[in-house]
Structure 1
Amino acid sequence: MNGIGAAQVDEAIRLKHRVEQFLFLEARLLDANAWEEWLRLFTPAGMYWVPRMRGQLDARTQVSLFHEDALLRSVRARRLANHRNWSQQPPTHATRTIGNVSVTDPGPGTIVVRSSFQMLEWRADNPRAFGGSYTHTLREDPAAAGSFRIEMKRVDLVNCDAIHENLQVFL
């Protein structure tokens, strides 16, 4: 016997379910281009990071595809929502599938979650596919019992080192 009781197993299952529901909500908001609602999922100091290289450890000393704080995410979200944004005429449509969710590091108030994703993007009769893994660092949201806020969202693309046409929407 490894000392894990039924109550601990039940709590781990409930936590994983809550985390999955949060990740699915995030994907639905992004799919719906609900940028303002998506922005509210982050903590005030939350970061969104898409590394340019596999295994990249530091966004500040190496080039990243995106490394955005609240201000930069907000600027991009407002640009995406602006009907005068010519680079989004016609607007991008996307759908995301999230799977293989694992809670890798539950700690006091912080949870690290790894998941796999696929995203299909459609814009101006041009389909693009992206895939990779997400690593979310989540904090319990004191304002909404049982929910989370994003402290860090790291997106590791399978083809991070490829040449990408302008990436406009959030992955």
Structure 2
Amino acid sequence: MLFDIEFDVSVDDLQPVSLTAERKEALNQFLYFEARLLDERRWDEWLALWTDDGMYWVPQSFEQTSPYDHISLFWENKMLRELRMRRLENARNWSQQPPTQASRLLGNISIEGQDQQGYLVVRANFQSVESRAGQQRVLAGSYIYKLASTADSWKLYLKQVNLINREDVHSNLEVHI
């Protein structure tokens, strides 16, 4: 999957989509819930929100339109997301002693449309404050989600995190943003 260059991260050629007010509110609640699971370090529940072939992507460059033509800060499939979660909880992981605590704020959630594969494309802005060992760090940017519709909710097919300072040198980015 990591080298499957057929995985479509583009958000071009979207078809308009209309959701009822109730479905829009359910979508907002899904995104807030996803952020809360990360804030509360509820990794197993967070992992369950994903499709089996879903990808987590944090581009490193502003011009980057694909994870295949430029190095990324993260490009993770199911196995790598699970590995990160196990590492975060490992008692021998010195970089998480004490564990990173975070609080995310989501806003400006907008439904962009439906892509050619039928995934709902949604954008949101975020701010996240991380605290560890007496140090705080603020991260901010935007998310692009591609969501697979289920009977009563969604699954994450793609989560793209566009940091506003993505080209800076970063200290450890341990926890998913």
The one of 6, 16, 22 aligned to 2:30: 22
Is 1:83 equivalent to 2:91 in the alignment?
yes
Is 1:122 equivalent to 2:131 in the alignment?
yes
Q: Where do residues 130-141 of structure 1 align in structure 2 (5 Å cutoff)? A: 130-141=139-150
Show CA shifts across 1:58-89 (max 9, x none). 10220100000000000001101122211100
Paired amino acid for 2:130: E
Q: Which residue of 1 aligns with 2:5?
A: none
Show CA shifts across 1:34-55 (max 9, x none). 1111011110000000000113
Paired amino acid for 2:137: R
SS in 2 for 1:127: strand
Root-mean-square deviation over aligned CA pairs: 1.5
What percentage of aligned pairs have identical amino acids?
A: 45
Is 1:94 equivalent to 2:105 in the alignment?
no
Q: Which residue of 2 aligns with 1:35?
A: 43
CA contact (8 A) 1:49 1:68 kept: yes
The one of 44, 59, 63 aligned to 2:52: 44
In 2, the alpha carbon distance for the partners of 1:130 and 1:160 equals: 10
The one of 57, 60, 67 aligned to 2:68: 60
Aligned length: 160
CA contact (8 A) 1:16 1:102 kept: no
In 1, the alpha carbon distance for the partners of 2:24 and 2:161 equals: 20
In 1, the alpha carbon distance for the partners of 2:67 and 2:128 equals: 23
Q: Which residue of 1 aligns with 2:170?
A: 164
Label 1:109 to 1:18 Cα distance change in 2 as closer, same or farther (>3 A). farther
Return 5+ residue gaps in structure 2 as ranges. Answer: 1-16
Is 1:151 equivalent to 2:157 in the alignment?
yes
Return 5+ residue gaps in structure 1 as ranges. Answer: 1-7
Paired amino acid for 2:156: I
In 2, the alpha carbon distance for the partners of 1:55 and 1:17 equals: 33
